[in-house]
Amino acid sequence: MQTSFSLAQLADPDISEADKILRACVHCGFCTATCPTYVLLADEDDSPRGRIYLIKDMLENAEPARREVVKHVDRCLSCLGCMTTCPSGVHYMHLIDYARVHVEKTYRRPIVDRLVRSALLRVMTDPKLFRRALIAAVLAKPIAPLFDWGRLKPLAAMLRLAPWRVPRGSAATPGVFPAAAGARRGRVALLSGCVADVLAPNINRAAIRVLTRHGFEVVQARDEGCCGALAHHMGRTEKAHAAACRNIRAWFREIDGEGIDAIVTTASGCGTTMKDYGFMLRHHPRYAAPARRVAGMSQDISEFINKISNLRYVSRPALKVAYHPACSLAHGQRVTTAPKELLSNAGFMLKDIPESHLCCGSAGTYNMLQSELAIRLRARKVANIERVMPELIAAGNIGCITQIAAGTSIPVVHPIELIDWATGGPAPKALKRMGWSDASGDQSK
């Protein structure tokens, strides 16, 4: 694609990077077939190619974002299916991220939109506030239909997505979890997270059990926090970078102390952002080099566990599992085989989902800010899952788990919960509700 940025514009390193990305695009349109919003709406401006043209025009003309452009940028899920499909290597993720920064700086949203976005960012990145909000949401769920109009639709979506019961406890206590027995094979830092720790603390508990059971010491670093993904995808650069720097400081205290072999996360949305820290902070005078190191050490839990030799499996029933590849994992990190290999090796019968490349509609805060499109995407995803008649669904991201579970009665679990069960741990709560006990292969009557 030909661009016409001035030399003065290209002196800005962000514009220079955008120019390189734009020039890589050859207008082929392969991306349209794997773009969820284009598949739903058949609008060129709601495809990656269409958005690229809109962003190019906006940046070249150095103009404030127009409402029409903002509409199409906001509709992008950042699922990155287009990057998997693109034969030219267009780094759409960095381009749409910069477009969101430009929108945030130059476009004044209606006051209700601003308040909703700020509230989401404030509440969802603070586990204590998020827990309180969920408890309040349980009481308010019956009145969700009252908000089904105008700019209050995000409130209705939030209430409907909130669980009827808020899990007790937390897995995010800073500290060290020693290897269970024998010689220590390694030491890893586990991201505590924010949303996942409140909605599903059993996921990180399962990860800790699997790691320690197989000889790894696990540390949850003091003073770590949100990975910065939510702020990053809202174009709030300062907040996103502050979150990243905070985590880098926390993890470097462990790196420079007893040392760690990897930084793992059970939330693939967080993992995609952590692996991008090097790019996000590439111009930071203090954190550029540490960010690159942290990014290089970051792994999804499935990546790390799949490299462990001699996982100690016990006998478990060969349940039929529909594996949903979270977009942030499959497209953002290109991790596609590790979760499936783990589940297959553990004895589960994997069922391939039709249109598995299409997003479920979660995408961070998308299922609240763009609830109508998110509901249509979820309905399509659930219909495809139910076609293969699984006994349960596995997904490697808390957003996907929450989104899909809201549209089906089939239990949805994280793969690490199944691997924990398959290596001697307790059955996931969803399986206990189906009647499966912790005992090997037993089903209670």
The pair of structure tokens assigned to 346 is: 């553990």
pTM for the predicted model, two decimal places? 0.92
The pair of structure tokens assigned to 191 is: 């991201």
Give me the sheet containing 216-220, strands edge to edge.
175-177, 216-220, 186-190, 262-265, 298-300
Q: Is 416 helix (H, G, I), strand (E, B) or coil?
A: helix
Read off the amino acid at residue 146. Answer: L
Sign of CA pseudo-dihedral 430, 431, 435, 438: negative
Q: b/e map of 226-260 (b: 16 or more CB within 10 Å)?
A: bbbbbbbbbbbbebbbebbbbbbebbbebbeeeeb
> Pairing state of beta strands 392-395 and 320-324?
parallel
Q: Work out the angle at residue 162's Cα, subtended by the Cα atoms of residues 381 and 77, and round it to the nearest 5 degrees.
A: 45
CA–CA separation, 121 and 232 (whole Å): 10
Alpha carbon distances (Å) from 170 to 88, 131, 138: 44, 10, 19
CA–CA separation, 220 and 273 (whole Å): 18
CA–CA separation, 100 and 105 (whole Å): 9
The pair of structure tokens assigned to 20 is: 């390189």
CA–CA separation, 61 and 49 (whole Å): 19
Query: In angstroms, how far is the first alpha carbon of the chain from the final one?
Result: 64
The pair of structure tokens assigned to 133 is: 């909000």
Residue of 325, 320, 308 lying closest to 397 (CA atoms): 325
pLDDT value of residue 437: 61
Q: Is 216 helix (H, G, I), strand (E, B) or coil?
A: strand
* Structural domains of the chain, with CATH: 7-106 (1.10.1060.10), 111-161 (no CATH), 175-306 (3.40.50), 320-434 (3.40.50)
CA atoms within 13 A on the CB side of 376: 9
Do the beta carbons of residue 324 and residue 357 sit within 8 Å? no
Do the beta carbons of residue 124 and residue 234 sit within 8 Å? no
pLDDT in tens, 410-445: 999 999 999 999 999 998 988 877 766 655 444 432
pLDDT value of residue 443: 43
CA–CA separation, 134 and 150 (whole Å): 23
Q: 40: how many CB neighbours lie within 10 A of its CB?
A: 17
pLDDT tens-digit profile, the chain (445 residues) = 899 999 999 999 999 999 999 999 999 999 999 999 999 999 999 999 999 999 999 999 999 999 999 999 999 999 999 999 999 999 999 999 999 999 999 999 999 999 999 999 999 999 999 999 999 999 999 998 888 877 888 889 999 998 888 887 776 678 899 998 777 899 999 999 888 889 999 999 999 999 999 999 999 999 999 999 999 999 999 999 999 999 999 999 999 999 999 999 999 999 999 999 999 999 999 999 999 999 999 999 999 999 998 888 887 888 999 999 999 999 999 999 999 999 999 999 999 999 999 999 999 999 999 999 999 999 999 999 999 999 999 999 999 999 999 999 999 999 999 999 999 999 898 887 776 665 544 443 2
H or E segment and range at residue 199: helix 195-199
CA–CA separation, 159 and 167 (whole Å): 16
pLDDT in tens, 348-399: 999 999 999 999 999 999 999 999 999 999 999 999 999 999 999 999 999 9
